[in-house]
Amino acid sequence: MGTDETQAAGKPGAKRQFRIWRGDESGGDLQDYLVEVNEGEVVLDVIHRLQTTDAPDLACRWNCKAGKCGSCSMEINGKPKLGCMTRMSTFAEDETITVTPLRTFPIIRDLVTDVSFNYEKGRETPAFAPPPGVAPGDYRMRQVDVERSQEFRKCIECFLCQTVCHVIRDHEENMPAFSGPRYFIRAAELDMHPLDARTDRKEYAQAEQGLGYCNITKCCTEVCPEHIKITDNGIIPMKERVVDRRYDPLVWLGSKIFRRGQVPQTSVTSEHSPGAVRASAADAAGAAGVHSHAGGSHDPRAEEQAQAGVNWHREVPKPTAPAVDASGKLPLTELTFDRAAAPSPFGDDVTFPLPPEHLNFAHPEQDKH
């Protein structure tokens, strides 16, 4: 590296070895360059100097050169980084610096990649839903709620977390069903927003964004230039909320008793998801003119029997509402009591599991029959 005296005199700095990928979507290779490097410079400075000397046709995307636009994302010595935030002083003087484009996304030319995948996923993510009856400008939030989601608003959309995520980096076939870390923290931010009117953020993250694909290796957090704790503060809490909603025994039991919290919901799933249920069971049955009590048979006679409390010519006891206390909550004794809170609508002479066609509810696959 040059001394302060040589820099002040305008003399060139030391020569450093760079290896940069050159090519386009049809192919390419790494090419070696010997480039002048001055004190205090970053990798993007060196690339700009290279464009003015040996490689004027070198393609590189950049904008602010201040670590706030996310444009100059590239892989430096194999690790996704921002070219404008990677100082040359962090490398050994005899080290060869290898610069390549983001590996996860299609090559356009040289260091420029097609990151439109991320914008497509951004358009698919439901936007903030204003609370009904509150006009813009009248929103009020406590400061603690502002601070809770402020961390996720720091994202500059450099997509380093997206390109380093091995779910799509090593398995391109997962891209249609996986939104990636950047949009997981977007879902987490909106889920904790006190003014967001949507209540299905967790279900959407699980059913549509592919939250279950993430196995929390924390590589996205490691490369984030804004030091957002993507995994610890965003992805893991979202996973915990999904587990609480779907798999917690008490929550599951409560949803069965009160008939609430059933997932997937109509507003969550969509037609482009391979395994999605396109509408709730009751809506699907209602559209066909058959109430959900008739199950998947679509038989008007079965509907009449179900409404009359008769299930396939067999008398069944009427279900009763669960015992609740003055606050409307189920007492703990109801969960620990040695007998059911209400008689079974199937009768005591029925063994389980029942075949789907005998169940007195709308089966998720009823439209296939």
For residue 243, the SS3 value is: helix
Give CA–CA dist 210/176, Å, rounded.
Answer: 9
Residue that the structure tokens 């005199």 belong to: 9
Residue that the structure tokens 């029997």 belong to: 305
The pLDDT of residue 12: 62
The pLDDT of residue 301: 61
What's the predicted TM-score (pTM) here?
Answer: 0.65
User: What would you measure as the largest C-alpha separation in the chain, in angstroms?
Assistant: 101
The pLDDT of residue 144: 85
Backbone angles phi, psi at 141, to 5 degrees: -135, 150
DSSP code for 295: G
Digit-coded pLDDT (tens) for 201-233:
888 898 899 999 998 999 999 999 999 999 999
How many H helices and E strands in the chain? Answer: 14, 7
The pLDDT of residue 288: 39
Digit-coded pLDDT (tens) for 32-65:
999 999 999 999 999 999 999 999 999 999 999 9
The pLDDT of residue 325: 66
What is the dihedral sign for C-alpha 51, 54, 59, 62? negative
Kindly give the parts of the chain with pLDDT less than 50.
1-11, 260-298, 306-320, 337-346, 359-364, 366
Q: Tally Cβ neighbours within 10 Å of residue 211.
A: 23
The pLDDT of residue 147: 85
Give CA–CA dist 271/310, Å, rounded.
Answer: 36
Give CA–CA dist 365/353, Å, rounded.
Answer: 17
What is the token pair recorded at 183? 């949009």
Contact 305, 315 (CB under 8 A): no
